Structure 1
Amino acid sequence: MAQHDGVTPTAFPWAGLRRARVAVALWLWGQHDCLVLWLPVLLAGGIALYFALPWEPGMTWALAAGTVVVACLAARLVWPAVLPVRVGCGVLGACAAGCLLAWTQAHRQPPFPDLPRRAVHLSGHVVGVERQVGHDGALAWRLLLADVRFLDGINTGMPPLRRRLLVRLRPDDPARPMAGEDISVSALLVPPAFPALPGGYDAQRRAWFDGIAGYGRALGPSASLHEVGPGSLESAVARLRQDMERRIRAALPDTRGAIAATVLVGADGAIDPPVRAAFADAGLAHLLAVAGLHLAIVMGLVMGAVRAGLALSERAALFWPCREIAAACALLAGGAYVIVTGGHLPALRSLFMAGLAVMALLAGRRAMSMRALALAVTCLLCLDPENVAELSLQMSAAAVMALIAGFDFLRPRLSAWRYEVALWRRAAARIAHPFMASVLAGGACIPVGMAHFGTVQPWFVMANLLAVPLMSVWIMPWGLAACALMPVGLEKLALVPMGWGIGLVAWLARMVAGLPMARVGVPAMGNGALALFFAGLCWLCLGRGRARLAGIVPVLLAVMSPLVVSPPVLVIAPDGRMAGVVMEHKLLIGPGAHPDPFILREWQRVTGLPAALLPVDGAVGGLSCHGGTCRIHDPAGDIVLLSSGAVRPASVCAGGRLLVELAAQRPCPGMALIGRFDLWHEGAYAVYQRGGDNLVIRSDRQVRGARPWVMRPGGAGMPDLPMARAE
């Protein structure tokens, strides 16, 4: 065999592999200080993997996951310098830990109870009170009840529910319930709703992890069983929030009062739906949700005020650590603000990061960093893994990650311009900060909004450039002043000017929402596309060097994915009362002229199409309807939709390949059938057309599988049997 300088030809492939391995090892060692930032990403990946399973892992799987975690930790300690062991064990161990965290949280929840299917008289302990605007525009109280007992018939003597109930009182109910008291009311209860279509929003999973048993609507006035007692800390905070909301709305009785109560005490249920829709269309919905922006304003104002006050004392200014004292006071004020506003997830994440920033300030380290965000998200995932699928954590993490990474890249350029001789560059450097903050945070949240709402707001940058500074320098300072004046009863002096600013922001939201294409409907991104987006965003923000730019590719693929995914041809509600047909770029809904608003909104979110009614007698594109029968014409066989229980003509079965009968269960020979029993047993259905003539039929139970939070057919839960009587 010929040789060249003592090297055989077969040695070249091995040499290439060695060089590639060395190159990868060098690149990984160059990334070693940012590898820890991937811990929350991998934890979230393991949690998402658990929720994506179509079956429920048993105890054996949980023990296996725990064994993998322990083995990875042991290997990491034994071989800390071996790169494949270090990276492989980190990835595998973090994903297994995420699966184990989610499994543990899911299995420590109490089961759903079997709620009565009729009107029932109940009593419970009020732990939360909120005013809400109904579909008819009427204001009513919504109560969160714990230790609920049923007082009728066979339900008498049952132990109290281990889960809580949300009960909405009648708008004309004269009672003014307070947190901490016990009430009784006659109500009609319903379990958490099934998804409106396979793969849609899962209200049962959310209720499972929130400890909610179901929802109720009062049929008569409520009655207080006894006066408010000392109660728990939760009840005391709820009473404080309720009293503050009452005083705010007494000073500002209109929409301005509802928005003021939202940003000061987290009472967002009383905002009118048109106002909330205008804020959403203008890209200002984050102003109505207590999150990092509000907490940063509160802490910044308190820190500035405390530091200015300490500077008035010569001794404090010279000998005391004024900055550290002011930061600690700001953190305490921020914690109080988060508690009073209800402890929502974005505010908790921001409070975690604020606490880390204060600790870094006391230690002389950098206050705001990607490590602080990683630690905060890791803590939140460990405390409540289910939130990885919720909008609040996804938007909060995406926005903050984009802000930190973006300003790390732009800071040298903006700092250089700030000290330029040219006036226009100094002005541009100051204007660039809020502009880039809106672009970075809003741009990172656009794909998340596409996945959860199916909309895009193109004018969000312009609206935020005007509204956020107004919120920072006028609305929130007056709001804090109003809170400080409440003990002496002078809060109106501050609430009135606060209302002026809120009115201006509301006018801005209406103006921007009225612009052309202010709200663009798009098909919602699927869960796989959303995971791809976050993988690309994390690679782009957490990596180093030019290789991080490769994260742009998955981000673009995820954003463009709705354009290449075909919507379902036919969707059927889980209760069989509604069906939707996608035809001629419209979502045709029927039967009847009054569709369920919740189901319709979910269908529009997924399809991104405007809604219209199914024709009673007529044709739209390839759809024709007559006498309660609609046919979706197809050369391979029609899809027949029957919405009437009348006598079925024999022509219905001719030329069809799928029969959907909403009123009965009468099959046609040789045709696939979706009937009432199928909907009761399997939940919602969606029919897709794949590969030309192939029909793919998916049901809700097929997609979700047998999981702890998936209720039995009909919404049945665990029976709550009466207690045995003592002999």
Structure 2
Amino acid sequence: MQIMTGVVLPRQHIDRVRAGLSRMKAGTSTWLWGQHARFVLWLPALMAAGAALYFTLSWEPSAIWAWAAAMVVAGCMAARLLWGTGLPVRMGCGVVGACAAGALVAWVQAHHMPPFPDLPRRAVHLAGRVLDVEAQAQRDGAQAWRVRLADVRFLDGINTGMPPLRRVLVLRLRPDDACVPVPGDTLLARVMLSPPAFPAVPGGYDAQRRAWFDGRAGNARALDGVTCRHGHAPSGLSARIATLRQAMDARIRMALPGDRGAIAATVLVGADGAIAPGVRGAFADAGLAHLLAVAGLHLAIVMGLVMAGARMGLALSERAALFWPCRQIAAACALLAGGGYVIITGAHLPAQRSLFMAGLAVVALMAGRRVVSMRALAVAVAILLCLNAEDVAELPLQMSAAAVMALIAGFDALRPYLSAWEHDVTWWRRTGARLAHPLLASVLAGSACIPVGMAHFGTVQPWFMLANLLAVPLMSVWIMPWGLAACMLMPLGWERLALAPMGWGIGVVAWLARQVACLPVAHIGVPAIGNGGLALFFAGLCWLCLWGGWGRLPGFVPVALALLSPWWGAQPVVMVSPDARMAGVVSGHMLLTGPAAHPDPFILREWQRVTGLDAGVLPDDAGQGPLSCQGGACRVREHDGDILLLLSARGPGRGLCRDARMVVNLWAQGSCPGAAVIGRFDIWRNGAYALYPDRAGGVRALSDRQVRGARPWVMRPGGAGVPDLPMARAE
């Protein structure tokens, strides 16, 4: 009996486990079949995952890999059409095919761009055609013109007679330059050139990748006054639009001088470069930075005002009100007005994305479907990824996709409760339901954007909800209506009549931004969320928003893990800039930089984003705690050996080399015997370095070259590109 018991009980246990697994499998399959209508919503999310995977590789896939990805996409489509009745085939083909399609689109777009040119390293004379002009606010309060030049030719030395650059050059004029360029002019200037900057920290913001897909060759700074050769009137449509924008910008600033005019020009013609850094910082700390970027909010206000005006105008006619489709006509007029607004403001990518979404909403309205839905968002994001796959790694697409997803899913989940309160007999419930809409919109969109802001800025603005509840209604009902009236009065020369009250509203919003920015903990610096944490957040957000029912709740787990990820990963101990002119040491709760007392602002801002710490200067002579500096050398004490940081040109002495496990030499390649070295040549060849503590108690060095590898947009050491040489004649 005992033998039988010893044999039978394990079999019963195994049968119970198998039965439990079978029930779990059946329940999961039933739930997934119940969600089959939502499978299509995952298409853009999986395409974005494939594109993001391509951009995170440290090696460049060859054409063979691209052909293999194309074959995978074709095979998945064929399998889906032939054997698409089973759930594993549908889901497997969808996931693999969409990811492969996203990676393939990103690869094609990356290899379609022309290579970076090899820019001269000395002062050079150039000539180029002006594409557009924008006023740029300097840190000292002065303003200078920022010009985009096409067909740039260098006029000195070996560059004489070379073909024009295939990429655009961004030129910044001197603040005291008397030249006022307009699109279509030819500009002659003596400039200093600089290629797109290398990342300030391994895995940090990649300006070279952004410049690669934007078609930019680099930046230029005018050394003297430039010469403008005014040619014929601009013939192209883009040149005419740029000229119109410049003229409107000038008239707005003439009617509204100062910061109010800069903000008005930003929301009306997209001239955001003229806003003073202090004003922009106050708006950012208050959580109102989105008011200074022409995107979905401004487009929605413009289209809403035009649609309401058109529908009210049509309602004045009895025949139109009775026999015409007034709602559809008003929606079409609103879409045309929105398209014109996007063009006038420069057709920036965030505005283009919003216009795509608005166009789909108008189509849905004319077809009698839901105006705002997750399917419309999925179609818009899929189209945008096919047009610009590189935007998956940039802030605007991530921020807008997260906010819109959270708004649609949140209001879909809360619609029964809000609808019940809106139709309740109690007046205070009806009032509360109407007031809850802007509050919920601010909470949902702002909360969804917090992790994205942590990843790209390393900051959190806790008072964003308070500021948006007051500023967004004022922007909607006062500032933008007067701005549209000013645009309509501008051909008559009466724009001052509308710009004056618009300026009053802008003044109130600017005052509100300053007051909120001065509140306690209005700006909290936190360590930035890495690429892995950001991917984890979007995976959880998509799970929350794209599924239906209670099965979406597990999506909160990856979102919470992503928010906590900056404090789980190792923080860098020492960072070195890609030009070897600056080093940073994390000491306690401070980020200390040297050797100069005035660090590079871009590099310092990026290091603070990564660490979330306040900045300071490395001491000249200090020996307290784990950091000691003396005579241009700093020692960072670690458990398994010290890190020696040489900031001056002198070599390491015998006393300095004692207990040194790793040496970072900013001036030479010399080292201490028996210690690992990161010298100036290593920094020149591999870019920025970051030193992390490892689990064994030692130090792990990570370079920018290790993270990015050899990609089309990664420039060679020193920022070298392809020489701008003419093609050889055929034999």
CA contact (8 A) 1:584 1:621 kept: no
1:296 counterpart residue number: 300
Q: 1:90/1:637 Cα in 2 relative to 1: closer, same or farther (>3 Å)?
A: same
Match for residue 519 of structure 2 among 512, 515, 522: 515
Match for residue 606 of structure 2 among 602, 626, 633: 602
Distance, in Å, in 1 between the alignment partners of 2:615 and 2:631 is 22
Aligned AA (1:655): D
1:476 counterpart residue number: 480
Tell me the alpha carbon deviations over residues 592-651 of structure 1, each in whole angstroms, 9 at most, x when there is no partner. 111000000000000000000000011342100111011112342111011111354221
CA contact (8 A) 2:403 2:449 kept: yes
CA contact (8 A) 1:631 1:639 kept: yes
CA contact (8 A) 1:584 1:620 kept: no
1:21 counterpart residue number: 25
CA contact (8 A) 2:183 2:243 kept: yes
2:132 counterpart residue number: 128
Tell me the alpha carbon deviations over residues 481-536 of structure 1, each in whole angstroms, 9 at most, x when there is no partner. 00111111111110010000000000000000000000000000000000000000
Tell me the alpha carbon deviations over residues 138-168 of structure 1, each in whole angstroms, 9 at most, x when there is no partner. 1000000011111111100100100000000
Distance, in Å, in 1 between the alignment partners of 2:465 and 2:322 is 43
Q: Does 1:592 pair with 2:599?
A: no
2:368 counterpart residue number: 364
Distance, in Å, in 2 between the alignment partners of 1:442 and 1:242 is 33
Cα shift at 1:29: 0.7
Distance, in Å, in 1 between the alignment partners of 2:727 and 2:115 is 18
Q: 1:308/1:188 Cα in 2 relative to 1: closer, same or farther (>3 Å)?
A: same
Question: In the TM superposition, what are the counterparts of 1:162-311 in structure 2 within 5 Å?
Answer: 162-311=166-315
Q: Does 1:575 pair with 2:579?
A: yes
Q: 1:9/1:418 Cα in 2 relative to 1: closer, same or farther (>3 Å)?
A: closer
SS of 1:21's partner is helix
Cα shift at 1:9: 8.2
Aligned AA (1:412): P
Distance, in Å, in 2 between the alignment partners of 1:178 and 1:554 is 50
Aligned AA (1:666): G
Distance, in Å, in 2 between the alignment partners of 1:628 and 1:388 is 43
Cα shift at 1:423: 2.6
Cα shift at 1:12: 5.8
Tell me the alpha carbon deviations over residues 536-587 of structure 1, each in whole angstroms, 9 at most, x when there is no partner. 0110011112110000000001001112223100000011110000011110
Distance, in Å, in 2 between the alignment partners of 1:228 and 1:266 is 26
Aligned AA (1:172): D
Distance, in Å, in 1 between the alignment partners of 2:398 and 2:544 is 16
Aligned AA (1:718): V
1:453 counterpart residue number: 457
Segment drifting more, 220-229 vs 554-563: 220-229
Match for residue 90 of structure 2 among 74, 86, 91: 86
SS of 2:454's partner is helix
Tell me the alpha carbon deviations over residues 443-483 of structure 1, each in whole angstroms, 9 at most, x when there is no partner. 00000000000000000000000000000000000000001
CA contact (8 A) 1:184 1:222 kept: yes
Distance, in Å, in 1 between the alignment partners of 2:561 and 2:125 is 54
2:381 counterpart residue number: 377
Q: Does 1:535 pair with 2:539?
A: yes
Q: Does 1:145 pair with 2:149?
A: yes
SS of 1:231's partner is coil
Cα shift at 1:62: 0.3
Tell me the alpha carbon deviations over residues 100-139 of structure 1, each in whole angstroms, 9 at most, x when there is no partner. 0000000011000000000111111111110001233210
CA contact (8 A) 1:155 1:722 kept: no
Segment drifting more, 597-606 vs 127-136: 127-136
Distance, in Å, in 2 between the alignment partners of 1:617 and 1:689 is 25
CA contact (8 A) 2:660 2:672 kept: no
Distance, in Å, in 1 between the alignment partners of 2:54 and 2:730 is 44
Tell me the alpha carbon deviations over residues 68-93 of structure 1, each in whole angstroms, 9 at most, x when there is no partner. 00000000000121111111000000
Distance, in Å, in 2 between the alignment partners of 1:628 and 1:396 is 47
Q: CA RMSD in A?
A: 1.7
TM-score under structure 1 length normalisation: 0.98
The alignment of Structure 1 onto Structure 2 pairs a total of residues equal to 725
Q: 1:10/1:273 Cα in 2 relative to 1: closer, same or farther (>3 Å)?
A: closer
Q: Does 1:554 pair with 2:561?
A: no
Q: Does 1:668 pair with 2:688?
A: no
Cα shift at 1:667: 1.8
1:627 counterpart residue number: 631
Tell me the alpha carbon deviations over residues 624-681 of structure 1, each in whole angstroms, 9 at most, x when there is no partner. 0111011112342111011111354221211110011111111221000011100000
Q: 1:72/1:490 Cα in 2 relative to 1: closer, same or farther (>3 Å)?
A: same
SS of 2:725's partner is coil
SS of 2:272's partner is coil
2:709 counterpart residue number: 705
TM-score under structure 2 length normalisation: 0.97
Question: In the TM superposition, what are the counterparts of 1:302-381 in structure 2 within 5 Å?
Answer: 302-381=306-385
Distance, in Å, in 1 between the alignment partners of 2:424 and 2:639 is 71
- Give me the identity figure in percent: 69
Distance, in Å, in 2 between the alignment partners of 1:345 and 1:446 is 21
- Where in structure 1 are there 5+ consecutive unaligned residues? none
Aligned AA (2:565): S
- Where in structure 2 are there 5+ consecutive unaligned residues? none
CA contact (8 A) 2:638 2:698 kept: no
CA contact (8 A) 1:31 1:543 kept: yes
Distance, in Å, in 1 between the alignment partners of 2:651 and 2:678 is 18
Cα shift at 1:180: 1.6
Cα shift at 1:425: 1.7
Q: 1:726/1:228 Cα in 2 relative to 1: closer, same or farther (>3 Å)?
A: farther
CA contact (8 A) 2:130 2:150 kept: yes
Distance, in Å, in 1 between the alignment partners of 2:198 and 2:390 is 18
Cα shift at 1:420: 2.4
2:160 counterpart residue number: 156
CA contact (8 A) 2:184 2:230 kept: no
Distance, in Å, in 2 between the alignment partners of 1:304 and 1:178 is 36
Question: In the TM superposition, what are the counterparts of 1:397-476 in structure 2 within 5 Å?
Answer: 397-476=401-480
Q: 1:723/1:47 Cα in 2 relative to 1: closer, same or farther (>3 Å)?
A: closer
2:73 counterpart residue number: 69
